[in-house]
Amino acid sequence: MNLLHSKTVLIIGLGLIGGSIARGLAHNKQCKRILAHGRDSIALQSALNDGSIDAYSTDLSVLAPQADIIVICTPTLSVRKVLEQLKELADPQAIITDAASVKSNVVADARALFPESLHRFVPGHPIAGSEQSGYAASKAELFNNRKVILTPLKENSAAALQTVMALWQVLGADVHAMSPERHDVVLAGTSHLPHLLAYSLVNTLVDSVSQPDRAQQVFDYAAGGFADFSRIASSDPVMWRDIFLANKNATIDVLDSYIIELQKMRHKLMIGDGQGLQSDFSRAKMIRDEFIKRFRTERNNLIENNNQGTHFTVEPEEISVFPGSFLTGSFSPPADSRKCLDIISQCIHQNGVFAFYGVPESLNVLAYLRSIRSKNVPVVGPESGYVRIYGVSGQTDVTPEATPAGRGILKTTRLPADVFLCGLLVLGAGSMRDSHIRLSGFAETRINETGRLQLQEQSLLAILVSFGFSAQLHIDTATGLSELIVDSFKPAAAKLDIRNTSLDDNSLLIIFAAAVISSGTTTIALESARIHQWLDRLGELAHWAATITVEDDLVYITRNELKSTAIHCHEDPYLALTTLVIGQTAPCSITIKQPGELAGMFPGLLAELSRLGFGFTVLPSNTRETQ
């Protein structure tokens, strides 16, 4: 379905970006008419002469009422002025979007000016351009195989969002979506900081290396590296002034981090730390090489109309584990990937907008969301576990009036936390001397009539209660989900009968760890076949951590005296995490080898565990590419 064929598109600002949009739309002949507004009548007449537009005017009041879609391509700080004019001039049903390089200020202005019609304002930013500017530099293919980031609002209708997506897709772009805040942070690092450094580098070389009146002393001997790095210093200074002023806070944050990194480099140079420099350079080279490989693969896939793409993750090759002394802080474990996908898949073909919290950013979830986008279903995120999906059943427009309180969100769901991760954190509290953590997102916890903690029978947390685990509980009355406040507890040996239960194999790993860190001998009744599968999976960990006796369907587990060793986990990330939590109680350090795709299955988890107080160090990493 061509969402543009009957539409009149108005482009405000006919420079590099606006001119390229006009040329691309004209070349593809996908819309009814193309109008242009700007101050440069020479550029406007040129566009009319070469057939890129059907009409133009320097008076916005002449064109705005005619437009079905309005694309604002003016400098970032001038977007508000344009919006103020459009508030009075544009057709009430017209869809408005923009191409500004900073989104938070544009969104704030739109909220102030269009509080009742935000469903039709869809912010965007094409990640394309050149150090050249103006209509003369524009070209129809500028957006071919380039990313365009949309930053949809909660109030956006699915129809408006799909229409803007269709406009960019007609131009050959690869459309993505994220929140305005996330956009500005990401672009501060990937686009804004490099431009700031390029401008600064040129000035530094002129002022510090050459004589003030003889700048050519440097440039006469500059090599290709300088030309490549400094190319973007030829960009429009006025445009970049506006971008930096509009996104100053995010740019300052990443600039501060960069300055700290430079200070570290400076120190290594001062002390002659060649090994440290080589390590830093090697890590950067590895990651940059993988980025280029991924970038080129994505470009090739897009050219071949294949959106499968690739991901690369930096996976630990080894993890050195040492005893942790405390565990403190708050953590919201994400949902299990499989359960997450089951829940999200139910909303795709429904009308409306759906928000989810607790979405894991694992590779399989990212691949699934990418497959949804390839079917033109708008998806925002995941960003820190948040995903927003605009359901498109029947292509029906969902206006604010059709949703509660005039909002676009029809349903917000907090996905239940991954049970394995919950157990992991609970055991962390039991393995360290001092702990006080808050874990949120549980679906299996409730408070009974007496106000006491109530758990689903034979759930993993209920099993851990048998080892002495207890916690304070707070319930969110709106979602029914729980926050556990876990203090230190001293795990004691337990007697468990878990035959014919729904506990999965990963939960058995947590139960083994609970038995190992407890005092005494734990007795577990379990089907004989599952016992052997369980012990086979534990492998070296079982022999190192415990003395184990099996009698038919009974298994007896007694903690060994833990000694320094290396545990091969055979690419099993769940087993590696189990080893990590047991290692917190060892009086020595141990090494986890072959931990598997921890970054791919649990992105960011190791950083979170370190922040909470787990003792470990990630040793030199391996970069892996995943289809």
Inside any domain, residue 379: no
Please indicate whether residue 76 or residue 439 has the higher confidence score (pLDDT).
76
Which one of 74-88, 331-345, 421-435 scores highest in mean pLDDT? 74-88
Do 240 and 160 share a structural domain?
no
Domain edge (last residue) among 231, 252, 272? 272
Inside any domain, residue 148: yes
pLDDT over threshold 70, residue 268 = yes
Q: Residue 410's pLDDT is what?
A: 63
Q: pLDDT for 386-405, tens place per residue?
A: 999 887 654 434 343 334 33
Domain tally, the chain: 3
CATH label of the domain that carries residue 571: 3.65.10.10
153, 417, 573, 561: CA torsion to nearest 10: 150
Inside any domain, residue 67: yes
CA distance 379 to 387: 7
Give me the phi and psi of 267, to 5 degrees please: -65, -40
Do 572 and 526 share a structural domain?
yes
Neighbour tally for 590: CB within 10 Å:
23
Do 199 and 135 share a structural domain?
no
pLDDT over threshold 70, residue 484 = yes
Q: pLDDT for 45-96, tens place per residue?
A: 999 999 999 999 999 999 999 999 999 999 899 999 999 999 999 999 999 9
Do 195 and 138 share a structural domain?
no
CA distance 318 to 621: 8
The partner residues of 318 in beta bridges, in order of sequence, read 593
pLDDT category of residue 143 using cuts at 50, 70 and 90 = very high
Q: In which element (H, E) is residue 88 found?
A: helix 79-89
Q: Which domain holds residue 503?
A: 419-626
pLDDT category of residue 232 using cuts at 50, 70 and 90 = confident
CATH label of the domain that carries residue 117: 3.40.50.720
- Collapse the DSSP code of 568 into the 3-class scheme (helix H, G, I; strand E, B; otherwise coil) and give the result: strand
Q: Residue 444's pLDDT is what?
A: 47
- Collapse the DSSP code of 475 into the 3-class scheme (helix H, G, I; strand E, B; otherwise coil) and give the result: strand
Do 196 and 75 share a structural domain?
no
- Collapse the DSSP code of 363 into the 3-class scheme (helix H, G, I; strand E, B; otherwise coil) and give the result: helix
Q: Residue 541's pLDDT is what?
A: 97
Q: Which residue has the tokens 């700290």?
A: 260
- Burial of 23: CB neighbours in 10 Å, binned 0-12, 13-18, 19+: buried
Which one of 123-137, 175-189, 325-339, 370-384 scores highest in mean pLDDT? 175-189
Residues 371 and 344 sit within 8 Å (Cβ to Cβ): no
Domain edge (last residue) among 175, 193, 217? 175
Do 541 and 473 share a structural domain?
yes
Q: pLDDT for 491-513, tens place per residue?
A: 899 999 999 888 899 999 999 99
Q: Residue 218's pLDDT is what?
A: 65
Domain edge (last residue) among 175, 206, 233? 175
pLDDT averaged over every residue in the chain: 84
Q: Residue 343's pLDDT is what?
A: 86
Do 238 and 171 share a structural domain?
no
Do 192 and 162 share a structural domain?
no
Q: Residue 407's pLDDT is what?
A: 41
CA distance 566 to 548: 20
CA distance 326 to 311: 35
Do 201 and 143 share a structural domain?
no
